[in-house]
Amino acid sequence: MVIRLWPLRPFLAPSLLLVVGLLGCTSERVIPEPVIPKVEGSEWCDDAEQNLLALGCEEGQPTKKGKSFTEFCLDTQQNGGIDLNPKCLATIKSCDEIDKVCAWNP
């Protein structure tokens, strides 16, 4: 019994290239470290907390997990890359100004 390969001949070269190409692929996936943007103003977090507490603002109170505003602010600013605008919070004169003056407006 003779097996005739001539009908498969046009597929031989592309198949070999595919096999060689796949052998060169690695199965390891390199996951890059996340890029966290640098946010300026973290040095104002403590002043912001003191001002919010002095004004009696709810935002100055510890979180439900017991973090002080300063801890929350520093963590959010430095690790989360989210600007809480603590410099503005440190200078407001009433709690109403939190959203009116310190909120981010595009």
Question: Does 67 fall in a domain?
Answer: yes
Question: Does 9 fall in a domain?
Answer: no
CA count, 13 A, side-chain hemisphere, 42: 15
Percent of the chain beyond pLDDT 70? 79
| Residue 106 confidence (pLDDT) above 70 | no
Question: Does 73 fall in a domain?
Answer: yes
Question: Does 71 fall in a domain?
Answer: yes
Q: What is the mean pLDDT of residues 3-14?
A: 64
Structural domains counted in the chain: 1
| Residue 8 confidence (pLDDT) above 70 | no
Residues written for the chain = 106
Question: Does 50 fall in a domain?
Answer: yes
Question: Does 6 fall in a domain?
Answer: no
Range of the domain at 63: 42-101
Query: How far is 49 from 45, CA to CA, in rounded Å?
Result: 6
Question: Does 22 fall in a domain?
Answer: no
Q: Convert the pLDDT of each residue in 16-51 to its tens digit.
A: 777 777 777 666 778 888 776 677 888 999 999 999
Question: Does 87 fall in a domain?
Answer: yes
